[in-house]
Amino acid sequence: MNRYFAFFGAILSGLCLYFAVLHTVFILSWVALVPVVVAAHRTVRRSYALFFLAAFTFSVGAFSWMIPGAHSFTGGPLVYGIAVFGVCVLIFAFGLASLLWVCTRTASGAVSTMSDAFFAASVWVLAEALLQWAARGMPWFLFHLGNGLADNLYAIQPVSVTGVYGVSWIVACVNFLVARAIALRHWKKIFLPIILFASYMTAGWLLLWSFERTEPQGSFSVSILNENIPPETQWDQSNGRQLVSQLLEAERTAIAARPAMILWPESAIPWTWSPDDDLVRELLRHSDPANITHILGMNTAVRTAVVGNSAYCILPGGQLAGRYDKKTPLLLIEQPWHSWLIPFVSADGYSVAPGISDVPLKTPYGNAGILICNESTLPDAAAATVSRGAQWLFNLSNDGWFRDNYLVRLHFSNARLRAVETRKDIAINSNNGISGLVSASGRIDGSDLVTIHPNRLLTTAVQYPNWPIYLCGLVSLIILIINKTTLQ
């Protein structure tokens, strides 16, 4: 293969992977890896260079938001964002290139047998699981090939059984099977990944049909109060009265819809909780006649310069029913790493202490599982609170820092996967982001007043979240042993 065509294939794969996974382009997800894997098969000596080129192309797009983002976060010079961008691109590009190289290096040779496709998909899932564990507090590094299916209602249904890891395995397997058929010019074998794709989509349709046959047991309404205040806004003497008026007006609009509950965004009130807080008391004075319960995002004082990123459940009359503290703060932004902390421009020098409990908040309508901001990217965070009795989920967030790039939509797509994985309705309030309801079926309601249907269902993905990972480990090991034995 002409080297220029090989390089073009690598760049094409990087671009396809970027749009497939980060912009959730459904069709591209199934073929994004094909060009670079085929090119690497035909130019084995340059395979790692081609994989690195594809990974580098992907990473440049994936982390481009950091250049303006770091400047907005810190208020520092633009060169700071460029430096952070460069470091992240190189780290991720080397990691992804190495993963692709390993995926195409079994004992039987790159992409030459059916077992190689199974091996590659299994290794891919193991790498995703390792990255999920290592980068829990850094969601910008989290990567699941299965996320690319998030915009297709039928394609996401299997996550209720396999979680996102099982979906990633199917997508990776189809990619490598297509690449195998093209690289070896075995055109008849292209039907195998087509059959696998069709079977998978049929299973998704059946799972959705089966779930939606179940009649919901009870419901209540939630008003999603999205204040849409820019996160860099500093509350001070000059604008404090105006911002308070804005919040009170937003609350009046929410009350007029006559909801059972009002869901506020993350850190809706930018100071620490006090039972005698004047603004909270004013909010309750307006809502108490309508017997409304609030889920309010507000920080909690822990110690000097350390807070909890919290969600408070406040009953009519001001009684505090419970509090959830974010368990997985953003590393280097909210939580220091070995005393290193990026100077967040609106944080006034404080850091966030991680919470310690997954217990859902008890409300008059059942148990509400809480996910704050990046916790919606963590399958185990949603599974943990559902395992502790959550009957639906609330996701409080602030996407104002990322309001001009793909992260806003990707954040909502992650929440959609969590809803189907757990089969729990999830109401999302994201300041300057995408808010609304994702039902347990995966269907979306983008209105400000939504209806929640609580349930106590425990899916396979909740009860046994790691079974696809263990199975992939076993499959990888068996294939390696078989290939080694065959060669001997």
When pLDDT is cut at 50, 70 and 90, the band that residue 305 belongs to is confident
Q: What is the pLDDT of residue 233?
A: 67
What's the pLDDT band for 417 if we cut at 50, 70, 90? Answer: very high
- Indicate the range of 124-138, 342-356, 449-463 predicted with least confidence: 342-356
Residue range 387-394: mean pLDDT, rounded = 98
**CATH homologous superfamily, domain 220-454:** Carbon-nitrogen hydrolase (3.60.110.10)
pLDDT for 314-336, tens place per residue?
A: 999 999 999 999 999 988 878 88
- The whole model's pTM is what? 0.92
Residue 72 clears pLDDT 70, i.e. is over it: no
Looking at 223-227, 291-295, 391-395, which range is the least confident one?
Answer: 223-227
Distance, CA of 98 to chain centre:
24
| Residue 467: pLDDT band with limits 50, 70, 90 | very high
- Quick check: helix, strand or coil at residue 482? helix
Q: Which of 433, 336, 327, 337 shows the shortest CA–CA distance to 380? A: 327
What average pLDDT does this structure show over 272-278? 91
Confidence band, pLDDT 50/70/90 cuts, at residue 422:
very high
Question: Is 398's pLDDT higher than 80?
Answer: yes
pLDDT of res. 402 = 74
CA distance 235 to 251: 19
**Residue 24 burial (CB < 10 Å; 0-12/13-18/19+)?**
buried
Q: Given this model, what pLDDT does residue 113 score?
A: 66
Coil, helix or strand for 152? Answer: coil
pLDDT at residue 154 tops 80: yes
Domain range annotation of the chain: 3-212+466-487, 220-454
